[in-house]
Amino acid sequence: MTVTVTSLGEAERARLIDAAIRARASAYAKYSQFTVGAAILADDGTIYSGANVENASYGLTICAERVAVHTAVAAGQRKFVGLAVATSGGLTPCGACRQVLAEFCVELPIVLVDVDQHNSAREVQFSALLPECFRLA
Ligand code: THU
């Protein structure tokens, strides 16, 4: 499969970063204390945010990225042009979230925001995080 790499414009990137940082404030991370904020940009310009929500039955925890993607999809969105994730350390999305993203994107610029480094951000491509991903059709 040929993957077309896209990148974000400055204004979109700034909006996404801001949304991810703000979403992180709503994280429910009672057990890990590790708060994550995510924001995904649909191709019509709408941003959907998410934060991680933990549970006393630990396996029921849902990551910020999946909250954001599922919120967007439930609102009728199917095409995405960017994702920002805000964490302490500027970490990449977990494997489960990568697979959920693969349902909707073959390529996606992902902005990783390190809240410990004055919200410094670096951009990675989805295809670099999950090459040769599993997709039906
Ligand atoms: N977490 C996310 O929200 N996104 C990821 O990509 C990895 C992990 C959350 C889940 C849990 O609430 C906490 O971070 C520690 O694993």
Q: Check pocket membership of 81 for ligand 1, CB cut-off 6 A.
A: no
Q: Are the CB atoms for 123 and 110 separated by under 8 Å?
A: yes
Query: CA angle, 68 as apex, 10 and 47 as ends, to 5°?
Result: 35
Q: Check pocket membership of 12 for ligand 1, CB cut-off 6 A.
A: no
Q: Check pocket membership of 32 for ligand 1, CB cut-off 6 A.
A: yes
| CB neighbour list of residue 130: distance below 8 Å, 6 or more residues apart | 95, 98, 99, 101, 102
Q: Check pocket membership of 65 for ligand 1, CB cut-off 6 A.
A: yes
Token couple for 3: 């993957």
Rounded to two decimals, what is the model's pTM? 0.96
Active site residue 65: yes
Question: CA–CA separation, 53 vs 61, rounded Å?
Answer: 6
Q: Reply yes or no on whether the pLDDT at 2 is more than 70.
A: no
Dump pLDDT digits (tens) for 97-136: 999 999 999 999 999 999 999 999 999 999 999 999 999 9
Dump pLDDT digits (tens) for 3-25: 677 789 999 999 999 999 999 99
Q: Are the CB atoms for 36 and 86 separated by under 8 Å?
A: yes
Of 88, 94, 129, the residue with max ligand 1 atoms within 8 A of its CB, to mutate for a pocket test, comes to 94
Number of the ligand 1 atom closest to the C-alpha atom of 31: 12
φ, ψ at 62 (rounded to 5°): -120, 140
pLDDT given for residue 113 in this prediction: 98
Dump pLDDT digits (tens) for 45-85: 999 999 999 999 999 999 999 999 999 999 999 999 999 99
Structural domains of the chain, with CATH: 10-129 (3.40.140.10)
pLDDT given for residue 4 in this prediction: 72
pLDDT given for residue 1 in this prediction: 61
Instruction: For residue 37, give the H/E element and its range.
Output: strand 37-42
Among 75, 86, 85, smallest CA distance to 108 is for 85
Question: CA–CA separation, 121 vs 111, rounded Å?
Answer: 6
pLDDT given for residue 7 in this prediction: 83
